[in-house]
């Protein structure tokens, strides 16, 4: 998923999947994140930030 925007105070990010659908994702395991970053998500939790991966 691609990070659209983050809410660091709450440890959440709004992310978009490959089809463009948006999802709230918990980010505590992979902070800090920035918009455009690609993350691996399982059950609503970002479990990895893909190094060097930024959405086009």
Q: Are 29 and 46 a contacting pair, CB within 8 Å?
A: yes
Assigned token pair, 41: 């998500």
Question: How do strand 2-7 and strand 12-16 relate by DSSP bridges?
Answer: antiparallel
The pTM (predicted TM-score) of the whole model is 0.85
Q: Are 8 and 38 a contacting pair, CB within 8 Å?
A: no
Q: Can you give the pLDDT at residue 54?
A: 61
Q: Can you give the pLDDT at residue 20?
A: 94
pLDDT digit string (tens) for 2-53? 999 999 999 999 999 999 999 999 999 998 999 999 999 999 999 999 976 5
Strand partners, 13: 6, 25
3-state DSSP call for residue 11?
Answer: coil
Q: Can you give the pLDDT at residue 46?
A: 97
Per-residue pLDDT at 56 exceeds 80: no
CA dist., res. 17 & res. 24, Å (int): 11
């Amino acid at each position: 998923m691609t990070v659209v925007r983050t809410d660091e105070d709450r440890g959440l990010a709004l992310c978009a999947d490959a089809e463009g659908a948006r999802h709230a994702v918990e980010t505590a395991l992979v902070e800090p994140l920035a918009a455009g970053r690609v993350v691996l998500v399982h059950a609503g939790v970002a479990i990895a930030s893909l190094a060097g991966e930024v959405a086009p």
